[in-house]
Amino acid sequence: MILGELEKQVLNQLWTTGEADAKQIHAALGEAQGRSLNTIQSTLDRLYKKQLLSRSKLGHAFIYRPRLDRSELIARLIRDITSDFVRQGSDSLMAAFVSLSADLGDEELDRLEALIRQHRSQSQEPS
């Protein structure tokens, strides 16, 4: 998922107000920046198609609400980066403490922990 500058601003606005229609967002963001109502409407539509907003019709206008909060958006971004890595076959361009695409089962993690315990007890034994 990639977000443009205006998309981020619209999301921020909706996180603050909770819900709004295109005219309200335009009044808050668009007018000061010289953006048209059409630009704001298409930005809201793009965010809706990216499944970041939900909308319901009220009269002739759509009311938009954020589907994710900030924390959930970051989690989704991390998952997107992860799935890109998985597609590419490696964490090629970013160093992560534990590979972002790593997912070991409990059994394997238990086996590694047992190995670490064994190493600890061996190194504590008097030689």
Q: How far is the CB of 49 from another protein (least distance, A)?
A: 17
Residues in the chain: 127
Distances from the Cα of 107 to the Cαs of 23, 68, 111, 112, 116, in angstroms?
55, 33, 6, 9, 14
Which residues sit opposite 85 in a β-bridge? Answer: none
φ, ψ of residue 34 in degrees (nearest 5): 70, 25
Provide the token pair at 16.
């603050």
Q: Using the rule CB under 8 A, which residue among 2, 57, 60, 127 binds another protein?
A: 2
Helices 5-17 and 37-49 sit at what angle, rounded to 10 degrees? 80
Binding residues among 58-77 for another protein as defined by CB under 8 A: 70-75, 77
Binding residues among 76-95 for another protein as defined by CB under 8 A: 77-84, 86, 88-95
> What does the per-residue mask of binding to another protein show for 10-49, with x meaning CB under 8 A?
----------------------------------------
What's at 20, amino acid-wise?
Answer: A
Stretch that binds another protein, among 19-27, 34-42, 45-53, 99-107 (CB under 8 A): 99-107
Applying CB under 8 A, the residues found at the interface with another protein are 1-3, 8, 70-75, 77-84, 86, 88-106, 108-109, 112-113, 115-116, 119-120, 123
